[in-house]
Structures are given as C-alpha cells and as structure tokens.
Amino acid sequence: MDKNAFESLSEETRAKLVAAKTPKEILEIANREGIKLSEEDLEAVSGGTSWSSATSCDYS
C-alpha cells in the first residue's frame, strides 16, 4: 500500500494496521474494512518479501 492510499484511510483503520502483529491480522483488517490490496501488497503480506520492510505503515 502506498503512502497516499494509507493516508486516505480513517485514523482508526490506520491505527489498526499499524498495531497488527502478523500478516494474517493485516489481511483480516483489510477484508473487514473493504481495503483493496494490490498483488504486490498481497505478496508482501503472504511472505513474498521481508515482513518488516514490506509492511511498514509508519507514514507519520
């Protein structure tokens, strides 16, 4: 998810994503919130790239 897409989410949703501890949690939040993840996002969350670098949501 790029910075603009992340920033367009509600503050509550951003907080949930930042607090997520596992890829599964991120996918569950995305599904619940109706967030469309790109193929690249899905690959990163599913283990295609490094978890810590691929899913960093620190856009503050």
pLDDT in tens, 3-48: 888 889 999 999 998 898 888 898 899 999 998 888 888 887 776 5
Report yes or no on 24 lying in a domain: yes
Residue 28 belongs to domain spanning: 3-50
Q: What is the pLDDT of residue 1?
A: 76
Look at residue 57 and tell me if it is in a domain.
no
Give residue 47's pLDDT.
67
Higher pLDDT, 51 or 24: 24
Question: What confidence score (pLDDT) does residue 19 get?
Answer: 92
Instruction: Note whether residue 16 is domain-resident.
Output: yes
At residue 36, φ and ψ (nearest 5 deg) are: -90, 120
| Number of domains the chain contains | 1
Residue 53 pLDDT > 60 = no
32 domain-assigned: yes
